[in-house]
Amino acid sequence: MAQIRNFSIIAHIDHGKSTLADRFIQRAKLVEDREFHDQMLDTMDIERERGITIKSQTVCMPYTSAAGEQYILNLIDTPGHVDFSYEVSRALASCEGVLLLVDATQGVQAQTLANMYAALEHQLAIIPVINKIDSPSADIDHTRVEIETELGLDADDAILCSAKEGTGIDDILEAITLRIPPPAGEPEAPLAALIFDAKYDPFRGAIISFRIFDGTIRAGDDIRLMSLGTSHRVEEVGVFRIDRERRPALRAGEVGYVIAGIKTVSDTRIGDTITHVDRPVAAPLPGFREVKPVVFSSIYPVSSEDFDALADSMERYKLNDASLVYQRDSSAALGQGFRCGFLGLLHLEIFQERLEREFDQSIIMTSPSVEFHFVLKSGETIVVDNPVHYPDPIAIDYALEPYIRATILMPDRYLGAVMKLCLDRRGENPRYGYPVPGRIELLFDLPLSEVVYDFYDKLKSVTQGYGSFDYELLDYRRSELVKLDILVNGERVDALAIVVHADRARMRAVNVCERLRKEIPRHLFKIAIQGAIGGKIVARSTVAPFRKDVTAKCYGGDITRKRKLLEKQAKGKKKMRTVGQVMIPQSAFVAVLKTNEEE
């Protein structure tokens, strides 16, 4: 056990974690040269397409130190984006130390700091690494200063590295063996292993990633998952070396996986403790803090009969994304669904995409909402994350909404356009600086609710793709909030309602009505679409009815073709939701999320 080192690579987004992991993988010769490609550990298509890490990944690699000693290094590459910080915090629970990367061209950033604090909380050894020293815009001296002043670490401990060119790799590996302590734990003690991740495999059931704190686990053992008390027979244990590699046993201090034929998805809980049935540990491990979502949205299957399939997929998805929070929800318009909480917009977007790609689920997603606080005249405060639960306006004393600090980085020529965008979105307190000549860093206090729909799309379009956006939650501020109801043919469609600032309500209403007019197909009757605030109609649009829709000729030779057309149209109808007698396509619910200020 003295030869084991467990560590995570943590950093702000894009500071080079996965690239550094690549160098380690190559050093350890875990893959043949011809099989190697950049960001080996970003295994999901969606990660490769976007060039970011979404899931933490574990790799176990052998290492022979300069002194000739053999080590087993368990590395966990973590995501840098704030929306996936729960992945980081769970990875840290399995480690004794971290490599804290700082990009020498950017210096210390929000997630550098946040992740370092998380490491400190777990009392981990921290090895600062200054990366990208090969880059012409690297400012090593300045980065050192920031490491001292902003992180409070000794800059002399920082190792210089270029993950891209492979410089400094040996120094880092040596430092890992010297500065990170070996795991503690007792292989002979009762088994206590922490589940920090899992993935569902249709043939083998849950594949559980875990860290063993005490004891030893072998294939054939009978184990118990402590929170539910279910027991299972271990089929296989092993470690991740890019692929799964079977081992006869894993011991205290090791990180690996276990397969125990667990087909009931809900049996596996992230944060749960695995122990032996016949010699259980006295108390479970502490597990993880609860996630606190900031963005909320309801999802429904496109076709209501697919609810069960969606429910299954959600369970399986959740196994592999512990930061998703969801519960059953139902809407008068859309039927059975789920109310979901996300750590941010990217998280929401990734969720939607993975659910469609990996689980083949087509869903309708309602407008993302934030958590609003309503202080009632009675003195009571209620928290509303779903417009459906907007309180009776008469009872409201005042309302509060969450604000973020947005950090927008862009070439300085876009300053004017981005300022305008932020001010349109009720931005306050703008500040800016020039981190590098020609680039501006703009800080704004913005209501989160203004950012949860299409802000990022808009930013990208006004900066022609050159603007980057990051945010952190600030505080709750008083705000004038109203509920905007959307009525289709006189019927309120609950899933289309939004809570919005009073000053922006009318414009949003006009926008939504216009968008819906384009999305709702024509019917046999005229369809009125209305936006209402507190019973007052503030916007309206109309979908004209069909005037003529009938084929002129239909004789013996046309019947089959006509019936097939009808079958096809009827299938298309299944992709729509009926409210009153109006069929609303999935795209209409999505369209509401987009606004167009210019229109």
Partner 1 sequence: MKRNDGSPAAPAWRVPPTAGGAGAGLYVHVPFCRTKCPYCGFYSTPESGNERRWLAALEREAALYRGVFPAFDTLYIGGGTPSLLGAGDVSRLFDTLRGVFVFSAGVEATIEANPDDVDADLLAAWRRLGVTRLSLGVQSFDDAVLRRLRRRHDASTARGAIALAREAGFANLGVDLMYGIEGQTFGSWMRTLETALDHAPEHLSCYELTIDAGTEFGARRAAGTLRGMSETAGRRFLLETSALLRSRGYIHYEVSNFARGAAHVSRHNLAYWRGVPYLGLGPSAHSFGGDERWWNVRPLDAYLGAAEEGRAPVEGRETIGEEERALESLSLGFRTADGVPLATLRRRPDWEAVLDRLVRDSLVSVEGDRAVPTIEGFCVADRIALLFAA
φ/ψ (deg, to 5) at 326: -150, 155
Residue 294 structure tokens: 């900031």
490 lies in the binding site for partner 1 (CB under 8 A): no
Among Mg ion, partner 1, ligand GTP, none, the one that 13 touches (CB under a kind-dependent 5 to 8 A) is ligand GTP
Can you list the positions of beta strands (E) in 156-219? 159-160, 192-201, 205-214, 216-218
CB of 579 vs ligand GTP, minimal distance in Å: 41
State the minimum distance, in angstroms, from the CB of residue 334 to partner 1: 16
Nearest CA among 498, 499, 515 for reference residue 595: 515
CB of 16 to Mg ion, least distance (A): 8
Binding partner selected for residue 554 from ligand GTP, partner 1, Mg ion, none, CB under the kind-specific 5 to 8 Å limit? partner 1
Q: Which does 11 bind (CB under 5 to 8 A by kind): partner 1, Mg ion, ligand GTP, none?
A: ligand GTP
Q: Which of residues 112 and 369 has its CB atom nearest to ligand GTP in the complex? A: 112
Residues that bind ligand GTP (CB under 6 A): 11, 13-19, 39, 51-53, 79-81, 131-132, 134-135, 162-164
Q: Which is nearer to partner 1, 261 or 572 (CB)?
A: 572
**Site for partner 1 (CB under 8 A): which residue of 554, 594, 596, 597?**
554
Nearest of 77, 67, 90 to residue 7 by alpha carbon: 77
Q: How many CB atoms lie within 10 A of CB 190?
A: 14
| CA-based end-to-end distance of the chain | 65
- Does position 305 interact with partner 1 (CB under 8 A)? The reply is no
* In the complex, minimum distance from the CB of residue 497 to partner 1, in angstroms, rounded to a whole number: 24
For residues 45 to 64, the per-residue mask of contacts with Mg ion, x marking binding by CB under 5 A and - elsewhere, is: --------x-----------
- DSSP class of residue 31? S
| Residue 544 CB, nearest approach to partner 1 (Å) | 9
Residues with Cβ within 8 Å of 583's Cβ and at least 6 positions away in sequence, in order, are: 520, 521, 523, 573, 576, 577
Considering the rule CB under 5 A, would residue 323 count as an interface residue with Mg ion?
no
Smallest CA-to-CA distance from 345 within 260, 446, 487 is with 446
Q: Establish if 17 lies at the interface with Mg ion (CB under 5 A).
A: yes
DSSP string computed for 546-566:
PS----S---TTTHHHHHHHH
- Compute the least distance from the CB of residue 529 to partner 1, in Å: 18
Q: Phi and psi at residue 361, in whole multiples of 5°?
A: -105, 130
Non-local (6+) Cβ contacts of 510 within 8 A are: 531, 538, 539
CB 167 within 8 Å of CB 134: yes
CB of 20 to ligand GTP, least distance (A): 7
**Of 30-59, which residues contact partner 1 (CB under 8 A)?**
none
- Write phi, then psi, for 433 (nearest 5 degrees): -145, 170
Token pair of 266 as six digits: 């809900």
For the purposes of burial, counting CB atoms within 10 Å of the CB of 204, is it exposed (0-12), middle (13-18) or buried (19 or more)?
middle
Specify the stretch interacting with partner 1 by CB under 8 A; choose among 105-113, 396-404, 439-447, 563-571.
563-571
Please report whether residue 548 would count as binding partner 1 according to CB under 8 A: yes
Whose Cβ is closer to partner 1: residue 122's or residue 517's?
517
Task: Out of 461, 464, 581, 596, name the contact with partner 1 by CB under 8 A.
Answer: 581
Give the nearer residue to Mg ion in terms of CB position, either 18 or 177.
18
Q: Which of 67, 282, 394, 524 binds partner 1 (CB under 8 A)?
A: 524
Q: Which is nearer to partner 1, 433 or 557 (CB)?
A: 557
Q: Tell me which stretch binds partner 1 (CB under 8 A): 270-278, 296-304, 403-411, 547-555.
A: 547-555
Minimum distance of partner 1 from residue 558's CB (angstroms): 8
By the 8 A CB rule, do 237 and 254 touch? Answer: no
d(CA 441, CA 431): 8
Residue 15 contact among Mg ion, ligand GTP, partner 1, none, beta carbon within 5 to 8 Å by kind: ligand GTP
What does 192 interact with, of Mg ion, ligand GTP, partner 1, none (CB < 5 to 8 A by kind)?
none
Question: Do residues 418 and 462 make contact, with C-beta atoms less than 8 angstroms apart?
Answer: yes
Q: How does DSSP assign 287-314, residue by residue?
A: --PPP---EEEEEEESSGGGHHHHHHHH
What is the longest distance spanned by two Cα atoms in the chain?
A: 90
Number of residues that bind partner 1 (CB under 8 A): 25
Q: Is 566 a binder of partner 1 (CB under 8 A)?
A: yes
Q: How far is the CB of 17 from Mg ion (least distance, A)?
A: 5
User: Of residues 35, 550, 598, 599, which one binds partner 1 by CB under 8 A?
Assistant: 550
Specify the residue, 123 or 560, whose C-beta has the smaller distance to partner 1.
560
Of residues 242 and 415, the one with the C-beta less far from ligand GTP: 242
Question: Which of 303/323 has CB closer to partner 1?
Answer: 303
Nearest residue to 251 (alpha-carbon basis) of 503, 4, 14, 50: 4
Q: DSSP letter string over 497-535?
A: -EEEEHHHHHHHHHHHHHHHHHHSPP-SS-EEEEEEETT
* Interaction between residue 332 and partner 1 (CB under 8 A): no
Q: What angle do CA 122, 231, 257 make, to 5 degrees?
A: 45
Amino acid making up residue 264? T
DSSP classification of residue 43: -
Residue closer to ligand GTP by CB (options 170, 428) is 170
Binding mask 513-552 for Mg ion (x = CB under 5 A): ----------------------------------------
Using CB under 8 A, pick the residue from 184, 228, 383, 559 that binds partner 1.
Answer: 559
Contacts to Mg ion by CB under 5 A: 17-18, 53
Contacts to partner 1 by CB under 8 A: 523-525, 546-557, 559-560, 562-563, 566-567, 569-570, 573, 581
